[in-house]
Amino acid sequence: MQPAGELTHIPLATGVFLHLHRVPLYKTVRIDICIGEQLRQGRNSRLALISRLLERGTRSLPDLQSLNRFIDELYGAHYYAVVDKLGEYQFIRLCLELIDEKYLANSDKGIFSRGLLFLREILLAPAGDGRQFKPDYLSQEKHFLSRQILDSFNDKTEYAQQRCIEEMCRGESIALSAFGDPGDFAAVDAGQLLDFHRGLLESNRIDVFVSGDFDPEYMQATFEGFINWERHEPDSVVQPRIKPFLGPAREIFEFQELQQAQMVLGYRTSILYGMEDYPALVLLNLVLGGDGQSRLFKHLREEEGLCYYAASHVEALSGLLFVVAAIESATYHRAKTIVERQIESLRRGYIENFEIESARSLLQARLLGIAEDREVFFRFQLREGLVGGGQSPEKLWRSVEQVGIDDLVRVANHLKADTAYLLHGGVGAKIAI
């Protein structure tokens, strides 16, 4: 089998890590810079606002038009800044993708170094007078970010998922949104926010990921002077914790005018990424409701025709598992009973050998293919960096290879139903609450 590319991890400065991934397949070089911390109320809103302001301009490219023109002129480079979360870790991510200079005429070379200078300027000299972010940009971005948060209302699947986590994990960091809370925005001032941003640059964890077809030594040298400001040791970043199931199981119903109801069932798994049982949990999830031919797909969609979509997924850094299905509200109890019955049968060990092997083959293909999917590999690596693992997908696969039916049964017995959430459009009586 082909090598999955060449990985090099280099500490760049205190709390700053450079991760180089050389993959000869790529025609572009991509740089992702992640600045993050444990999700915290109030601070999460500021990180979110900063992510938007880092797309608005720099001192030498002071507005959207000049910034976008600059990026387009770099041969259709692609630049964006977003805020995101991985478990309880919230991060600002700057992403710049540049065409590999091999595919450009000689006269157009040099875009990589121009791109790097641009990223430094974005971080160190965002648009403004050096004392504050541009106040009019800040107020526009407060407006857009509030809007974006409201818009999540339009994606019913995502909305239902977020609401279930909120209800299930009240008071936990994981329940906080990476986009912040619009209620915090009014109090954010452009000068304080720039100070806050500088504080992030000085003392938050920073990960720089570079992937493409390059010479790692050359790339390492290129980044040597990238962090030339003073750095402090970051707070210990994120401590994945298991919240025990305190019971009792709850049911939450919410009404919206909808054609189709969204059911989200939340379980606590007691298993975190990096723990010995994690590979078994991943495999179990695939048997239950990973896409393709899972139990949920078979029983909810094929046998009962209750839904078009049914799946389960694991929140690796929080010890949670969710089952998600779009159903008709009148069939809620039936659908939920079927899911519970399936989980119960897994607990009792009614698992066919072909189910395990089929899930295992699929997982093998996915894990071994990850390194060629930038987006998925990015998240994989970030997660590894956070738990201090440095584990490769190959190594995770080797653990999955060893998982036996006893392991699956043990893991299934750890699943505790916590919160069942239904977003429905039917009249209350129809779901017989």
Distance of CA 355 to the CA centre of its chain: 28
Contact between residue 127 and residue 59 where contact means Cβ atoms under 8 Å apart: yes
DSSP state of 128: B
CB of 286 or CB of 417, closer to other proteins: 286
Contact status: 65 vs other proteins (CB under 8 A): yes
Of residues 132, 222, 358, 399, which one binds other proteins by CB under 8 A?
A: 358
Stretch that binds other proteins, among 13-21, 39-47, 118-126, 152-160 (CB under 8 A): 152-160
Of residues 366, 379, 410, 430, which one binds other proteins by CB under 8 A?
A: 366
Helix axes 135-151, 190-203, angle to 10 degrees: 80
Stretch that binds other proteins, among 200-208, 219-227, 263-271, 350-358 (CB under 8 A): 350-358
Sheet containing 250-255: give its strands across. Answer: 250-255, 416-424, 261-268, 320-327, 310-315
Q: How far is the CB of 132 from other proteins (least distance, A)?
A: 18
Contact status: 97 vs other proteins (CB under 8 A): yes
Q: Closest Cα partner for 332 from 412, 425, 206, 417?
A: 425
CB-neighbour burial class of residue 406 (10 A; exposed 0-12, middle 13-18, buried 19+): exposed
Give the integer Cα–Cα distance in Å for 249 and 267.
Answer: 9
Stretch that binds other proteins, among 60-68, 126-134, 177-185, 187-195 (CB under 8 A): 60-68
CB of 153 or CB of 229, closer to other proteins: 153
What is the CB neighbour count within 10 angstroms for residue 22? Answer: 18
Per-residue string for binding with other proteins, 165-204, x by CB under 8 A?
----------------------------------------
Contact status: 63 vs other proteins (CB under 8 A): yes
- E strand or H helix at 261, and its extent? strand 261-268
Of residues 84, 172, 189, 372, which one binds other proteins by CB under 8 A?
A: 372
Give the integer Cα–Cα distance in Å for 63 and 402.
Answer: 55
What is the CB neighbour count within 10 angstroms for residue 191? Answer: 14
Contacts of residue 164, defined as CB under 8 A and 6 or more positions apart, other chains included, come to: 252, 264, 265, 266, 322, 419, 421
Stretch that binds other proteins, among 22-30, 42-50, 116-124, 171-179 (CB under 8 A): 22-30
Stretch that binds other proteins, among 231-239, 243-251, 339-347, 364-372 (CB under 8 A): 364-372
Contact status: 365 vs other proteins (CB under 8 A): yes
CB of 32 or CB of 88, closer to other proteins: 32
Give the integer Cα–Cα distance in Å for 132 and 117.
Answer: 21
Contact status: 373 vs other proteins (CB under 8 A): yes
Q: How far is the CB of 432 from other proteins (least distance, A)?
A: 21
For tokens 């990015």, what's the residue? 378
Residues that bind other proteins (CB under 8 A): 1-2, 4, 24-28, 63-65, 68-69, 72-78, 97, 99, 102-103, 137, 140-141, 143-144, 147-148, 150-151, 153-156, 255-260, 292-293, 298, 301-302, 305-309, 326-328, 354, 357-359, 361-362, 364-366, 368-369, 371-373
